[in-house]
């Protein structure tokens, strides 16, 4: 498996228009990331552009304010990787508006001018990742060798400490916002490795989840497990994604984070913070994974399936 760090013009266009349309959350930082500030200042003239209002209305149809429209994010990356977009109608409309904005403004010229800075960000992130054995750390934690490539895409126009981890074709993507260093948005922070590891792990976890469901089917509790998963809630997460995030965060706190050379990393603190954010089973996941790692009597998926069966009994 190989990994790379590269810019994404399509994602940059999406976040440019989002910023013009009122994407203001910066997670408590007193200033914006420099590239984000430059982009907002340059395109302030487009605030009354009818295409921006049209985009805003389509964006809000997703019902998730202050987050990029998920289907459009996926389809933009599919297009950039030479794959066919999903055909989702709202995504098609959003991408059409973005293309009209691109072709009717000086976006291409602006992007060409700022691209060297964007490439510098990619090189900065790549340098951070190369300081640790990034891929082997993930392979060891998830207990299988990845059969996909990894592509890290910095997203300098996003709010800090955020990211997305879709799988596009044979690529696990980590689309990552700036980190935060002394209250300032920055990619020069070891915690950027943590964001990238988290987002790439979403692709690893798909294999584990498939194996867990196969075990659940064989033992006859798959239906109850699906119902249980749909009932979960935590912070911005709902349904099955809560259990996925819980498993990922538990494993990352103890078996990924400590190997990424993060300053002042605290397993207990991470678990407590996640529990306070609503991941109520985080300690049970941590215990099940820890016992499995200390005394493996089967696969990681089998350990998680056993835990799920116990959680169903508790519930």
DSSP string across 213-235: HHHHHHHT-HHHHHHHHHT-EET
> pTM for the complete prediction?
0.93
The structure tokens listed for 8 are: 């994404």
Residue 62 clears pLDDT 70, i.e. is over it: no
Per-residue pLDDT band at 1 (split at 50, 70, 90): low
Residue 64 clears pLDDT 90, i.e. is over it: no
Q: How far apart are CA 67 and CA 259, in angstroms?
A: 30
Q: What whole-number percentage of the chain has pLDDT above 70?
A: 97
Mean pLDDT value across residues 74-85: 97
Q: Which of 47, 32, 33, 39 is nearest to 13 (CA)?
A: 39
Mean pLDDT value across residues 151-171: 94
More confident: 24 or 293:
293
Half-sphere exposure in the Cβ direction for 40 (13 Å, CA): 17
**Mean confidence (pLDDT) of the chain:** 94
Per-residue pLDDT band at 189 (split at 50, 70, 90): confident
- For 182-191, 196-205, 305-314, which range has the lowest pLDDT when averaged over its residues? 182-191
Q: What's the distance, CA 36 to chain centroid?
A: 19
CA angle 187, 189, 193 (to 5 degrees): 90
Provide φ and ψ at 164, rounded to 5°. Answer: -135, 145
Mean pLDDT value across residues 119-125: 97
For the chain, how far is it from start to end, CA to CA, in angstroms?
40
Per-residue pLDDT band at 146 (split at 50, 70, 90): very high
Handedness of CA 216, 198, 79, 100 (dihedral sign): positive
Handedness of CA 58, 59, 64, 70 (dihedral sign): positive
Residue 110 clears pLDDT 70, i.e. is over it: yes
Q: How far apart are CA 200 and CA 192, in angstroms?
A: 12
Mean pLDDT value across residues 7-19: 97
Mean pLDDT value across residues 173-197: 92
Mean pLDDT value across residues 94-105: 98
What is the helix (H) or strand (E) element at residue 238, kind and residue range?
strand 237-238
Residue 14 clears pLDDT 90, i.e. is over it: yes
Mean pLDDT value across residues 201-229: 97
What is the helix (H) or strand (E) element at residue 73, kind and residue range?
helix 70-80
Residue 284 clears pLDDT 70, i.e. is over it: yes
Q: How far apart are CA 100 and CA 108, in angstroms?
A: 12
Q: Rg of the chain's alpha carbons, rounded to an integer?
A: 20
pLDDT per residue as tens digits for the range 237-272: 899 999 999 999 999 999 999 999 988 889 999 999
Give the pLDDT confidence score for residue 65 in this predicted structure.
64
- For 49-63, 142-156, 204-218, which range has the lowest pLDDT when averaged over its residues? 49-63
Q: What's the distance, CA 18 to chain centroid?
A: 18
CA angle 11, 13, 14 (to 5 degrees): 65
What are the angstrom distances between the C-alpha of 305 and each of 200, 201, 302?
A: 22, 18, 5
How many residues are present in the chain? 315
């Amino acid at each position: 498996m190989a990994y790379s760090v590269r810019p994404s013009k399509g994602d940059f266009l999406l976040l440019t228009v989002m910023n013009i349309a009122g994407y203001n959350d910066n997670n408590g930082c007193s200033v914006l990331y420099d590239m984000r500030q430059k982009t907002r200042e340059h395109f302030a003239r487009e605030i009354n552009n009818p295409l921006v209002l049209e985009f805003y209305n389509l964006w809000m149809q997703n019902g998730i304010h202050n987050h990029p429209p998920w289907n459009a994010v996926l389809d933009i990356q599919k297009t950039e990787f030479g794959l066919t977009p999903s055909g989702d109608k709202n995504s098609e409309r959003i991408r059409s508006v973005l293309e009209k904005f691109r072709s009717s403004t000086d976006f291409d010229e602006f992007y060409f001018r700022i691209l060297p800075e964007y490439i510098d960000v990619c090189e900065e992130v790549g340098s951070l990742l190369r300081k640790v054995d990034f891929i082997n750390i993930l392979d060891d934690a998830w207990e299988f060798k990845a059969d996909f490539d990894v592509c890290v895409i910095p997203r300098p126009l996003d709010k800090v400490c955020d990211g997305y981890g879709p799988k596009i074709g044979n690529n696990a993507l980590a689309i990552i916002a700036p980190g935060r260093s002394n209250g300032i948005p920055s990619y020069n922070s070891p915690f950027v490795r943590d964001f990238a590891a988290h987002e790439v792990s979403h692709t690893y976890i798909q294999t584990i989840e498939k194996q867990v469901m196969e075990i659940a089917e064989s033992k006859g509790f798959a239906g109850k497990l699906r119902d249980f998963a749909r009932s979960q809630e935590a912070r911005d997460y709902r349904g099955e994604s809560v259990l996925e995030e819980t498993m990922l965060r538990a494993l990352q706190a103890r078996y990924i984070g400590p190997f990424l050379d993060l300053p002042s990393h605290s397993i207990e603190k991470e678990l407590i913070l996640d529990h306070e954010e609503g991941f109520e089973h985080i300690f049970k996941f941590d215990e099940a994974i820890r016992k499995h790692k200390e005394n493996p009597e089967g696969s990681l998926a089998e350990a998680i399936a056993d835990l799920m069966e116990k959680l169903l009994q508790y519930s």
